Every structure is written in structure tokens, then in C-alpha cells.
Structure 1
């Protein structure tokens, strides 16, 4: 019997952090106006008031870095980290490695809530209208899927996936219906492109709400790492060790729905990130959430920055919706994972 040796945890974290830094730099450098790496870092260091670079660049190039590309790269990192962390938490909560915010209908629920706001121009809550509507849709979808999967017996992998896929299809059809029947072609076109996922037009004003939600949510999940680890051993084992499984699971569902709803509100529906990356992280650092969650956040950030760079570079000057790229990579991974589980 062979024993799989894992890399040192600090080395894995350092590698993932370096990947985030490298991907972020590439994301700022690349674009219709190419910029040298040294100039990009010079601008960033100058803005941080570090006397390490003399300002030899023009004001236009500084604006491109600080107000156009940097906010987009940061939002990619936030969204990628949030999706990866939420996927890992969902897989523990439902004890199913196939769980994913998109496969379980959570992203589709958030999409319906957000499309309602966009199509009908609901603004009575100001800047919070879109995030709150997306959160409500995500939470209701998650509750519906979980209830359908548990109805008539215990929760099983097949029932959960079937309930999630069916719910996601219905909700996606509902969102499409809202767009098709919209009387405003401009709003309908914007909502349709948003549904496919994308981070174009990101500004600094868009960052603080998803950043706060992801940081707060990840911090809470790190604080409940032990209960999440207990759930991996089974509901009975977790209950015997003093965990109120149903109350804990309900609270975590609300938290995950808040995070996903906020993410969907700014990025649209981006699938499979929360399915693929948690598995990669577990292979490298194990299933202990105290170690796995920070690694998943870093890997998710690096992955989505790289995916966004590919989305705007492959057919430049046109931009591919990032949700299409993640589906192209995530679909085969999902099929491989199902075959692997079936072989076991």
C-alpha cells in the first residue's frame, strides 16, 4: 500500500500566493494598451507612497492601471476566492463532493433575483437592491433544493444533484423568460450578457460590498472549521459529539447564500469554480477546513484572474463571457469526477 505524501502546507500557501501575484500582474499588464511589468509595479508602489519608483509615466497610463485594470483584477480575486470557499463549505454541509453553487441552483436563484431588479428597474433600496435580491434568490433556491433532496428519505448524492440540476434549469428558464419578455431591449441585452458572467466595467465602487461579504463569510467559516470537519464524518457522528446539525446547517446555508448572492450581483453566474478548486486543494493539503479554506481562497483568486485574462485576450478586442470559459473547463472535470466516484 502506497502512502501519498503531501507538500508542506506553508509551501502550498506560498505557491498559491505567488500564483495570485503573478496572475494579478499579468491581468494589469495585458490589454489594448500594453504596459511593461516594471511600469505597472512602479505605479502601484508610487500610489502606496513607497519611495521605490520615480513617476516617469503619463497620467493616462496611471489612470489605466489604477482605475480600469486594478479594480477588475481585485474583483476577480474576490469573486474567485468567494466561489471556491463557498463550494468547499457546501460540499461539507451536504457531504457531497459534487456540490457546487451552480449545480445546486444557488447561482441560478441569485440570477433570478438580480434579473428581476435589472429588468424591472427596482431601486428602492439604492445600491443594495441588486445584492439583496440576489441573496434572497440564492437562499430560497438553496432551501428548495435541500428540501427536495431530503423529501421522502435521507439525503443522497443522486437526489441532491438531480434536485439541484432541475431547480437550476427551472430558475435559468425563468430568468430567460424575464429577459425575453422585457420591454426594454437595452436592459434585456445587459441582463443576458450579465447572466453569462463577466467583470467588465468594474469600478472601485463595486468592490467594497462583495469584498466585505467574502472576507466576513470566509472568517466565519474559518471560525466553524471544527463543526465542518465533524460533518465530514457524518450527521450521527457530529451529533454524538455535541453538534446541533440542523441548526448549524441552516445557519451556514444563510451564510453561503449571502456570499453567493453578493458575488452573483457583481459578476453574474460563474459556474464550476466552487466544484473544481476544492478538490484540488484537498489533494494538496487535506480535508481539514482550517488548512483547506485559506488555500482554496488563494487558488480561487488566482484561477479566476487567469480565466478573466483569457476571456478578454483570446478573441480580442471582443470579450468572451467568463462563465463560458469556466463551463468549458468545469464540465469535463465534473464528468471525470462522476466517473471516478462510480469506479470507487
Structure 2
């Protein structure tokens, strides 16, 4: 009876609206606090006064009761980093939700399926050896996208036996692909001509938002927003996948074409994110699952809520990375792994971790 009541409550639009509003408030508070925290503490009112002072309509109309140093810290250092963290968290969460719907398995995410590893391998080639220089400033994001797409295709090829793909084979193929690509990445790093290149590549491979700038925000934000909008417009097809491929075909979904579209969107989002932050794991695993526990499995609700929760989680993960060992900084991938590892174990211990009528095998 309790489960039915909870399910009924989660299905109500008012319940979702309350969740959405509450988490938007939490996101705003998280951004404010994250910008405040650091070696130089900034008052919350000054945080937003400085931010609003850069808006064209308010330029010169605020009192300006802050120093140039405070303005530089808030606007040029902390705000871009916090907002980039929010975009990355939202993007990883929505990519994870798409992959979990595609595989009908809550253990799937871009990291576990090798998508992040493929992007990392291609990106490290660019970072250390300057590969694909002819692409100019787009060398890193395009290479990361290509690497993530190739990794995803390889996973599906390995998992397909007799024309069918089982969730177990898909996960195992993803793990094997991820391990092989990680080994390839490490080998590339050992060939680096300079020690500084090895250190920067290794640190980047574990994920970091260090050096975030405003110009780093435009492309990731645009890709995540467009990808999320496309997935949201396809929420009925995503929902039908949860009932199984046969049911989806009955409802008019072209499974082959839809699968390719989901792979491309997930690879594009993941590759773009990896190109600006490095490889960050477990966000796409945890966040969509938490969103489904809050509002059910309807992707009209799962996708926007996942984006909010992912943004909040990544902001606080970055705060922990900055402050736990201050003045030293932890790679953010370590923080997410410390949170995601126990969550993954909890999912494994459950009686079932697949969607729809599957048994997870």
C-alpha cells in the first residue's frame, strides 16, 4: 500500500512542480555559496552585485562597494568555474539518463560504458602531441566527440551476439572497452616528451575545473542545452524503451534509428564535457537513478530533474575538491568516485537493476 501511495504521489504534476522549484532554489543557493567559499571570503550580496554589474542594463547603476580584487575573484575566477561545473553536471546526468533508457539498465553510464574513456584517449592525443592541429581551436572537442562515438560503437558491436544485445553483455563490453582505452591513454601519456605534459595529462584525466574561463562555457552549455531539448522532445520514445524493444516497435518507434540517435547525442555531450573537464565518472550513474526515485520513470520529469540534481552535485563536488586539502586541490574525479563507488555497490546489491520487465541479466 505504501508503494502505491508513493507512486501515486510521484505521478502528480504538483509533486513534480514542487521538486523542480525546490531544487532550483537549492541550485541558486549552491552557486552563491560556492562562489563565496575560498581563501578570500565574499559576502553573498556582493557575489550577486558583482554578477549583476556585468549585465548591460545594470552596468554602472549599482553602488560598486567592492574592490577590484574581489571583482576579479568573483567574476573571472569563481563564477566561470561554478557555472562550468553546473553545465558539466547537468550534461553528464542527462547523458546518463539517455544511456540508461537505451540499455534499460540503471548500472549504465558514460563512464562505465567506455564513452568517457574513448573521449579521454582522443583528447590526450591532442593535449600531449597536438594531434589534429588542422582543426584549430576545435581539435580538442571534435577529437573527444569522435573518440566517445567510436567507443560507443565498439561497445555495441562487442555486445551484439546473434542480432541481440543483452544488458549484461553491454555492461561487460563497456567495462572491457573502458579498460582497454584507459590502458591506451596511459601508454600515450608515457610517451609524452616532457614531464610537465605527463603531469598535466594525468591530472586532467582525473577531472578538473581548474582554469575555467567564460569562453569555456559557451560550447558545452549550448551542446548540453540542445541535447537535453532533443531528448526531452523524444520523451515518449524514451519511455517506450523502458517497456522493451517489442513494445517500443508496437508503439511506432524505429528502434535502429532511435538507438543511433541516442548514441550520437550521448557521445556528443560526453565528448564535449570531457574536452573541457577531463574524465569524471559516476555522475551519469547516480543522478538519473536518484531523479527516478523522486519523480518516477517518466522522462518528461527525469530529464529536467536530473539536470538540476547533476548541476548541484557537481558544484558541491568541486567545492570539496577545492577546499578539502586547501591550498592543494583534489581532482574532481576522485570526489565523484568516492560518492559513486558506494552507490554503485548499493545498486549491485539490489534484487534488480533493470527497467521494464527485464531481470537485469
Q: What is the TM-score of this pair, normalised by structure 2?
A: 0.92
How far, CA to CA, are the matches of 2:339 and 2:170 in structure 1?
Answer: 22
2:278 matches 1:278 = no
Query: 1:240 Cα shift?
Result: 1.3
Instruction: Give the aligned partner of residue 38 of structure 2.
Output: 31
Instruction: Give the aligned partner of residue 356 of structure 2.
Output: none
Q: Please give the secondary structure, in 2, of the residue aligned with 1:246.
A: helix
Q: Deviations over 1:6-65 (max 9, x none)?
A: 371111001111121111111110112111112212212222344884111111211111
**Which of 177, 183, 194 is the equivalent residue of 1:184?**
194
**Mapping 1:152-163, distance limit 5 Å:** 152=162, 154-163=164-173
How far, CA to CA, are the matches of 2:328 and 2:135 in structure 1?
Answer: 34
**Which of 318, 322, 326 is the equivalent residue of 2:336?**
326
Query: 1:173 Cα shift?
Result: 0.7
How far, CA to CA, are the matches of 1:281 and 1:141 in structure 2?
Answer: 27
Q: Deviations over 1:159-178 (max 9, x none)?
A: 12111111101101100110
Task: Name whichever of 34-43 and 131-140 sits farther off.
Answer: 34-43
Q: Please give the secondary structure, in 1, of the residue aligned with 2:320.
A: helix
Q: Please give the secondary structure, in 1, of the residue aligned with 2:41.
A: coil
Post-superposition, which runs of at least 4 consecutive aligned residues in structure 1 deviate over 6 A?
none
- Alignment RMSD, CA only? 1.5
2:54 matches 1:47 = yes
**Which of 81, 102, 109 is the equivalent residue of 2:90?**
81
Query: 1:286 Cα shift?
Result: 1.1
Give the conservation status (yes or no) of the 8 Å contact 1:96–1:157: yes
Q: Deviations over 1:74-106 (max 9, x none)?
A: 100100000000000100011111110000000
Task: Name whichever of 249-258 and 36-45 sits farther off.
Answer: 36-45
Q: Please give the secondary structure, in 2, of the residue aligned with 1:124.
A: helix
How far, CA to CA, are the matches of 2:123 and 2:328 in structure 1?
Answer: 25
